[in-house]
A and B are shown apart, each in its own frame.
Chain A
Amino acid sequence: MDYLVQMSDVVVSYPTEDGELRVLDNIDLRIRPRELVSLVGPTGCGKSTILRLLLGSQFPNQGTVLFEGQPIKSIDRHRGIVFQRYGLFPHRSVLDNIAFGPELELLNLWDHLFRFASPRYWRVMHEQRERARTLVTRIGLRPADCDKYPFELSGGMRQRVSIAQSLIMHPKLLLMDEAFGALDESTREEMQLLLLEEWEKNSMTIVFVTHNVAEALFLGTRVIGLSQHWENDDGQPAHGARIIVDAAAGGKHPKPTSYKYSPEFTALLQKIREDVLDADQRTRLCEFNLSHQDAQRE
């Protein structure tokens, strides 16, 4: 089986005043093409670190991260990203934000610098803006929104633009970092359905990071749970996140919203909550007990 992503024995740690802080501990993760992988876990458990490794903005201290069999050396166009805080360019209109990638693909810096003397520049800009215009309606914005700036849009609309900005580049892997975390409940549901629709249409692979287990289960074909506080074989708490759940998410794509209310969904939700979040709490309790014992001994 060919994997799109292979992470093997990945360790990420940072030096601190108290010694080394281990964030990820021996992570092994393989992702096949066309999977929609939800990465779930409590805040600060290392989900976003995994995403940064996949993006190419951070590198492991140990282990390898391969994309299409090659080590990831930098950020590139094959891996798109959607951030919780949108990452839109505030000085560009909706259309210009979406057309930004294709413009860069077809024009170089000199075309931009000498645009007034370059008919090609204006032709390419016109073509790419038209291409972006078709995407605008597909992601649920009105044609009237095309010339608006990001500050004139609601959170949901901005996130739609951010997704379109990535989709227009046809990335092989789309990384989403708590992408719907800042949205209200109804907008979040709309965006989830939009994402599933686009995932079906574009045959993409998506890694969706969230701390919301229900969202992870509804969106993903596979759910991966991380916990920062796992226990050693001798029962001692250890640091550095590990994958403690790797399971098929259940349900058949495209999942209707009603799937969220099915017994299958509820049972899976309960199980993953127990495995990921309760494991985290158990280990915190274990840490507390040990420190309490130490204090008593002293």
Chain B
Amino acid sequence: MIFSTRTQIDPRWGLVLSALPFVVLLGLYLGTSYVRHVKNPDDKIVPTLGKMVEGAKRSMTPDSSGKVQLLMDTWASTRRFGIALAIIFLAVPLGVMMGCFPFWEQLLYRFVVFTDKIPAIALLPILFIAFGLGELSKIVLMVLGVFPTVCLDAYLRAKAIPEEQFQKAHTLQSSGFEVVWLVVYPQIFPKMLDTIRLNFKSMMALLLAGEALAASVGLGYRIFVVRRYLAMEIIIPYVIFMTVLLYSADVVFQWWAKRYRWVDRE
């Protein structure tokens, strides 16, 4: 049954199957934590569930100035992530232009392919020197890491639009820009939402790298600060929280892309 390509799975059974890897992971963790705590009750490497709940509560308790650490960190990171995401969306029209207009293709294609191959993390010292330790360098790092990839994907998708559609549009009196805006762009946009959501992890990794090196607030900053005290009961809840945030953003983008019911239907 498990290697059959035609197995019909009951939805309830499907739910159990989906939950199984999570349960196994949790079980392994709890087992490891129990064994380590039997040997050493003060073990900090694999904290118990209770200690992690305690650590999470601490992060959500207002400090002496009335500020909640987790909220402040989340807001700072989300703001940086959101600004970078908005800029990265501009890669879609640029890629479409490259895919539709030979002039722009010749001008930019090789340049974008080249910049796409730069390991963005290697730019971190350059960005800190050029833009300082403020917000800009962290945002630019995310943009440089993901913008060329999204741009190239938009380019390839625009190239894949059948030539017949271009010719038909021109017989219906559309100009080059109208073809791009009214024919190509709407067709590839839902697929670009998928490309962007699949790059969320890279964006987050770059953000964490930037925050780890130069920030005073943010999710990445926090986990690297508490690392000094081996505060795994804070680090692990933060990592789970970041994953949940990214997963939620991914779900929103999936829902958005699914609204275009004509996508990939013949």
Residues of chain A having any CB pair with chain B under 8 Å: 55, 57, 74-77, 79-81, 83, 85-91, 100-101, 104-105, 109, 112-113, 149-151, 162, 165-166, 169, 171
Cβ-neighbour of B168 out of A76, A87, A90, A149 (below 8 A): A87
Is the CB–CB distance between A165 and B168 below 8 Å?
yes
With both chains docked as a complex, state the minimum distance between the C-beta of A261 and any C-beta of chain B, in angstroms. 35
How many residues on B have C-beta within 8 angstroms of the other chain's C-beta atoms? 24
With both chains docked as a complex, state the minimum distance between the C-beta of A43 and any C-beta of chain B, in angstroms. 18
With both chains docked as a complex, state the minimum distance between the C-beta of A59 and any C-beta of chain B, in angstroms. 14
Q: Top 8 closest A-B pairs, CB basis?
A: A101-B172, A87-B164, A151-B265, A75-B170, A87-B168, A77-B173, A149-B262, A83-B164
Is the CB–CB distance between B164 and A75 below 8 Å?
no
Is the CB–CB distance between B162 and A100 below 8 Å?
no
Which of chain B's residues 169-204 have a Cβ closer than 8 Å to chain A?
169-175, 177-178, 181-183, 186-187
Given contacts A57-B167, A75-B170, A75-B171, 8 further A-B pairs with CB under 8 A are A74-B170, A79-B171, A85-B162, A87-B165, A90-B187, A90-B265, A91-B262, A149-B262
**Which chain A residues border B177 with CB–CB below 8 Å?**
109
With both chains docked as a complex, state the minimum distance between the C-beta of B157 and any C-beta of chain A, in angstroms. 13
Bound: A83/B183 CA distance, A: 17
Cβ-neighbour of A113 out of B174, B181, B183, B260 (below 8 A): B181
Is the CB–CB distance between A100 and B172 below 8 Å?
yes
Whether A109 touches B171, Cβ cut-off 8 Å, given contacts A151-B262, A151-B265, is no
Is the CB–CB distance between A166 and B171 below 8 Å?
yes
Is the CB–CB distance between B164 and A85 below 8 Å?
yes
Is the CB–CB distance between B182 and A87 below 8 Å?
no
Cβ-neighbour of B171 out of A55, A112, A113, A150 (below 8 A): A55
Is the CB–CB distance between B171 and A81 below 8 Å?
yes
Whether A89 touches B164, Cβ cut-off 8 Å, given contacts A100-B172, A166-B171, is no
Is the CB–CB distance between B162 and A105 below 8 Å?
no
**Which chain A residues border B181 with CB–CB below 8 Å?**
109, 112-113
**Which chain B residues border A90 with CB–CB below 8 Å?**
187, 262, 265
Is the CB–CB distance between A109 and B173 below 8 Å?
no
Is the CB–CB distance between B164 and A109 below 8 Å?
no
**Which chain A residues border B164 with CB–CB below 8 Å?**
83, 85-87
Whether A81 touches B262, Cβ cut-off 8 Å, given contacts A109-B175, A169-B173, is no
Residue of A nearest to B164 (CB): A87
Best-surrounded residue of B164, B168, B182, B260 (most CB of chain A within 10 A): B168
**Which chain B residues border A105 with CB–CB below 8 Å?**
173
25 residue pairs A–B, Cβ–Cβ below 8 Å: A55-B167, A55-B171, A75-B167, A75-B171, A81-B168, A81-B171, A86-B164, A87-B162, A87-B164, A87-B167, A89-B183, A89-B187, A91-B186, A91-B187, A100-B172, A104-B174, A105-B173, A109-B177, A150-B262, A151-B265, A165-B168, A165-B172, A166-B171, A169-B171, A171-B171
